[in-house]
């Protein structure tokens, strides 16, 4: 058997496999070479591309201008109408030559900003490498590497933005600047150009402003503080933020030691100095030319700092603000008028915010706030808010989360904080018992406020105020009455209250709408987005309760803030000293540290704080306590004049119901709930009560009286009349609907119903048999029946219908005597047909109701009826005579019903 030869295809496949196994593998050296060449090509391409891009950007860079290099560029500020109101730039700047700058001052700046300044050529590539690594690690823009030269260029020609174009142009201009000017000249430019705080430019100006000194007289700690300001000029201001300023100063001292500029002993000694110890006081601090509205401008500058544009003013930007010049001027006029303040030293801070947009319209930074940008009581203040916290942390969250009614029953009685022996007291040391949430708020009761927070829960309450821009790491039960960890400024408070007046929509307060950079094209929008902080029912129901704070109800706490003709809601607040504070500082018993008022219309939300610069300089009088209300009233009245102010509108999600105060759960008031227990309150639609309270039973119905019955002249019908004192509706004071049931009972026989009526009379066909009857009238209201009012009635034989009646002789009618002053006529014992004239029997006078009653009791002898009267009793001294056929009355002898 011969062996099978492989096919041609199999042979080729075997050959290919053999060649594959014998082919040599590329060495590691060759792979490394390939990778290296690839990387070099990539780097080269990037370099060429980067160089080309750099060249393109550099070609569009502005030209160096010596005037711009040496002088700050002025920034402009515009109000809400687009009118210029302030320019900040080179005014009042103290220019210092390089040779006059102290050595330690130079060292402090170099150690902090650019330690290799005298070594590099405008760009510090060593520092740049570190910045690049940081940016790869933490994201672009995480760390900068600008030299002093670059900072001079940026502040003279370029915008403050982290873009490749700006960085390329900055590098190119820095290179050119280093070629044209010496290091000393460039340092001098930097030294005199940089923004130090607010409108203070240059280190020489800052030395005089902060310390009232020439540069040569500064101490090491003072030089370090000034050197540290440049990074964040407003945040590190020792007048406004001493804690931040101290940290920054100590950082600069540490850098000086690290780079060998000072010894360790010098560093440690300088760090021990109180950061505010050498600061100039207001009397000696250099004064700067102010704008029209320094307090508002201070807020604008702070907002620029907050948004990372603190140094942008040195670049010649245009800032468009929310300033309302009319409102600002009103606030400043009131704040500067000493007659508006009860003492010489009491201070106030005022913030006026547009209710709908959150825009800051005006700021009252203090009574004497000026261009030196001292402490701004409207913006910088962080104090406990007192009872102005109650709508924000307590009742607002309760309505939002628990859908409480404004009539929710709360009990104001002594209690302690949870797990504490500390008793919660009210301002008057009294307790009101069961009251509505509405009254608890407008009367500013503390115990119900804490109970409300407990019901809601701290977590939900914290979340609620967080949506109103109020943030705190810790919230305690004492925050329910504004005495815990939460602190606020008038600006924050006005913005939070504005959300109640804006259907629950909150906007962070802001003073800048946009800024425009020096190129006139590039802009940055500052307008925040509004957010829904609560339901519209929560906003309206809180607003409606706060209306009563400024209303005229007894116990209302904010009546002094009311402005006639304006729909205003608001809340008062005071804070307290601790027992330890009273003892330590020997304070009077009436002392409080802070007084607040926050209120709003549909147009404006205003918050006012009053107190003293020294926390332990106390408010002791009611005039001082009510100062925020007085200022609010003046400001709100003036800025609302000639401005249409719509009323707050109740949303469809809210309904009204009249409840019985104190019921739990809430029940509708019954017709018999006393007036003082009836209250119309608001409910979230769908939660209003349906059950009527039975706490108060219907009072006993009065018995119908002066019941009378008579046959008509032909005996065909019975005419019955009576009187009755109606029961009144407690809410409207109107008579309640009353039905009368009339019946007749024959002596010794059955009772026959004669009918029902809502009037005080009834005429029925005479179907009764002859005999003596008792006519009864019973009043009925809502199923409740009165005792019967009765009269006796006799039915005698009647004329046969088929028999023609005899025509009676016309009776003789005596002329009636004129009535006396009481409407009485003397008729010698004859009854007056209409029952309204008294009968005088043997000088026994009746009671004016047609009674034959010698002693004034109700013994009625009705028309054609037989005694006795209402209850079958005849109290006269003589039995009455049997009545004769009644005679027609003469007109005017008495009134008919």
Return d(Cα 790, Cα 745) in angstroms, integer: 10
Answer whether 566's CB lies under 8 Å from 531's CB.
Answer: no
- C-alpha span between 484 and 461 (Å, rounded): 14
- Write out the DSSP string of 463-503: HHHHTTT---S---GGGGGT-SS--B-HHHHHHHHHHHHTT
387 among known catalytic residues: yes
Quick one: DSSP state of residue 695?
Answer: S
475 burial via Cβ count (<10 Å: 0-12, 13-18, 19+)? buried
User: 725 φ, ψ to 5°?
Assistant: -90, 110
CB 500 within 8 A of CB 391: yes
CA dihedral sign, ordered 648, 654, 655, 657: negative
Integer Cα distance of 503 and 499 in angstroms: 7
How many of the other CB atoms lie within 10 Å of CB of 22? Answer: 7
CB 256 within 8 A of CB 111: yes
Alpha carbons 584 and 647: distance in angstroms, whole number: 49
Q: Is 27 a catalytic residue?
A: no
CA 237 to CA 374: how far, in whole Å?
10
Q: What one-character-per-residue DSSP string does 814-828 give? A: PPPPPP-TTS----T
| φ, ψ for residue 359, nearest 5 deg | -70, 135
The number of angstroms, rounded, from the C-alpha of 344 to the middle of its chain's C-alpha atoms is 30
Angle 669-673-675 from CA coordinates, rounded to 5°? 105
Closest C-alpha to 392, from 626, 576, 562, 605: 605
Burial class (CB within 10 angstroms; exposed 0-12, middle 13-18, buried 19+) of 392: buried
Q: Which of 387, 405, 489, 595 is catalytic?
A: 387
Distance CA 432, CA 76 (A): 57
Contact 845, 767 (CB under 8 A): no
Give alpha helix (H) positions in 194-324: 203-211, 220-229, 242-258, 264-271, 294-306
Q: Comparing C-alpha atoms, which of 272, 252, 275 is closest to residue 262?
A: 252
The DSSP H or E segment spanning 102 is: none
Burial code (b: 16+ CB inside 10 Å, e: under 16) for 160-194 equals: bbeeebbbbbbbbbbbbbbeebeeeebbbbbbbbb
| 410 sits in which H/E element | strand 409-412
Check 113, 305, 400, 624 and give the catalytic one. 113
834 C-beta neighbours (distance < 10 Å), count: 17
Q: What's the sign of the alpha-carbon dihedral 535, 541, 542, 543? A: positive
The DSSP output letter for 241 is -
Catalytic residues: 113, 387
């Amino acid at each position: 058997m011969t062996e099978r030869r492989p096919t041609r295809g199999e042979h080729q496949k075997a050959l290919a496999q053999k060649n594959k196994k014998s082919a040599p593998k590329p060495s590691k050296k060759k792979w490394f070479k390939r990778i290296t060449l690839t990387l070099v090509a990539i780097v080269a391409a990037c370099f060429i591309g980067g160089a080309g891009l750099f060249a393109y950007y550099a070609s569009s860079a502005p030209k160096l201008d010596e005037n711009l290099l040496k002088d700050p560029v002025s920034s402009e500020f515009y109000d809400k109408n687009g009118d210029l109101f302030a320019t900040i730039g080179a005014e009042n700047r103290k220019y210092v030559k390089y040779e006059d700058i102290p050595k330690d001052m130079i060292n402090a700046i170099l150690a902090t900003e650019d330690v290799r300044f005298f070594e590099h050529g405008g760009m510090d590539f060593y520092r740049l490498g570190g910045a690049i690594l940081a940016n790869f690690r933490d994201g672009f823009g995480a760390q900068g590497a600008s030299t002093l030269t670059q900072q001079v260029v940026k502040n003279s020609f370029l915008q403050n933005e982290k873009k490749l174009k700006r960085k390329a142009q900055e590098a190119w201009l820095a290179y050119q600047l280093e070629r044209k000017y010496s290091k000393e000249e460039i340092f001098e430019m930097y030294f005199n150009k940089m923004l130090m705080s607010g409108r203070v430019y240059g280190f020489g100006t800052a030395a005089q402003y902060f310390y009232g000194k020439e540069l040569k007289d500064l101490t090491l700690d003072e030089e370090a503080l000034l050197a540290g300001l440049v990074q964040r000029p407003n945040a590190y201001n020792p007048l406004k933020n001493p804690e931040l300023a101290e940290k920054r100063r100590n950082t600069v001292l540490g850098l000086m030691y690290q780079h060998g500029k000072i010894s360790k002993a010098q560093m440690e000694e300088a760090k021990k100095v109180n950061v505010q110890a050498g600061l100039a006081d207001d009397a000696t601090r250099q004064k700067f030319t102010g704008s029209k509205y320094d307090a508002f401008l201070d807020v604008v500058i702070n907002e620029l700092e907050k948004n990372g544009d603190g140094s942008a003013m040195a670049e010649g930007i245009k800032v468009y603000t929310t300033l309302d010049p009319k409102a600002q001027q009103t606030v400043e006029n009131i704040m500067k008028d000493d007659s508006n303040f009860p003492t010489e030293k009491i201070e106030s801070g005022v913030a006026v915010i547009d209710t709908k947009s959150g825009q800051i319209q005006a700021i009252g930074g203090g009574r004497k706030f000026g261009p030196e940008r001292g402490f701004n009581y409207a913006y910088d203040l962080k104090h406990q808010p007192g009872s102005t916290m109650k709508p924000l942390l307590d009742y607002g969250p309760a309505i939002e989360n628990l859908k409480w009614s404004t009539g929710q029953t709360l009990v104001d009685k002594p209690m302690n904080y949870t797990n504490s022996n500390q008793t919660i007291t009210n301002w008057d040391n009294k307790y009101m018992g069961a009251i509505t949430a509405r009254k608890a708020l407008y009367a500013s009761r503390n115990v119900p406020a804490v109970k409300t927070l407990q019901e809601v829960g701290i977590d939900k309450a914290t979340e609620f105020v967080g949506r109103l821009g109020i943030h705190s790491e810790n919230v305690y039960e004492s925050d329910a009455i504004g005495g815990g960890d939460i602190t606020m400024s008038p600006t924050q408070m006005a913005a939070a209250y504005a959300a109640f007046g804006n259907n629950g929509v909150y906007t962070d307060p802001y003073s800048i709408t946009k800024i425009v950079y020096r190129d006139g094209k590039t802009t940055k929008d500052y307008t925040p987005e509004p957010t829904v902080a609560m339901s519209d029912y929560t906003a309206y129901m809180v607003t409606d309760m706060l209306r009563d704070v400024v209303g005229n109800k007894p116990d209302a706490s904010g009546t002094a803030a009311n402005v006639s003709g304006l729909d205003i809601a608001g809340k008062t607040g005071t804070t307290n000293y601790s027992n330890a504070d009273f003892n330590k500082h020997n304070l009077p018993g009436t002392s409080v540290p802070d007084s607040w008022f926050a209120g709003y219309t549909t147009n404006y939300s205003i918050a006012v704080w009053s107190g003293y610069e020294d926390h332990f300089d106390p408010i002791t009088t009611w005039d001082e306590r009510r100062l925020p209300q007085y200022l609010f009233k003046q400001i709100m009245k003036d800025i609302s004049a000639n401005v249409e102010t719509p009323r707050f509108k109740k949303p469809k999600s809210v309904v009204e119901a009249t409840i019985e105060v104190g019921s739990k759960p809430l029940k509708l008031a019954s017709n018999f709930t006393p007036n003082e227990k009836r209250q119309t309150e608001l409910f979230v639609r769908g939660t209003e009560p349906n059950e009527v309270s039975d706490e108060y039973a219907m009072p006993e119905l009065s018995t119908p009286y002066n019941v009378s019955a008579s046959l008509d002249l032909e005996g065909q019908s019975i005419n019955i009349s009576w009187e009755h004192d109606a029961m009144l509706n407690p809410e409207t004071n109107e008579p309640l609907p009353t039905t009368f049931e009339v019946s007749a009972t024959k002596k010794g026989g059955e009772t026959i119903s004669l009918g029902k009526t809502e009037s005080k009379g009834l005429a029925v066909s005479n179907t009764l048999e002859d005999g003596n009857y008792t006519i009864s009238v019973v009043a009925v209201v809502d199923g409740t029946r009165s005792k019967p009012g009765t009269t006796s009635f006799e039915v005698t034989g009647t004329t046969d219908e088929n028999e023609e009646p005899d025509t009676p002789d016309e009776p003789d009618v005596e002329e009636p005597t004129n009535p006396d002053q009481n409407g009485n006529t003397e008729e010698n014992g004859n009854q007056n047909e209409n029952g309204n004239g008294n009968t005088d029997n043997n000088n026994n006078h009746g009671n004016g109701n047609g009674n034959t009653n010698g002693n004034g009791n109700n013994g009625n002898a009705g028309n054609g009826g037989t005694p006795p009267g209402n209850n079958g009793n005849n109290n006269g001294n003589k039995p009455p005579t049997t009545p004769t056929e009644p005679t027609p009355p003469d007109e005017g002898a008495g009134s008919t019903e």
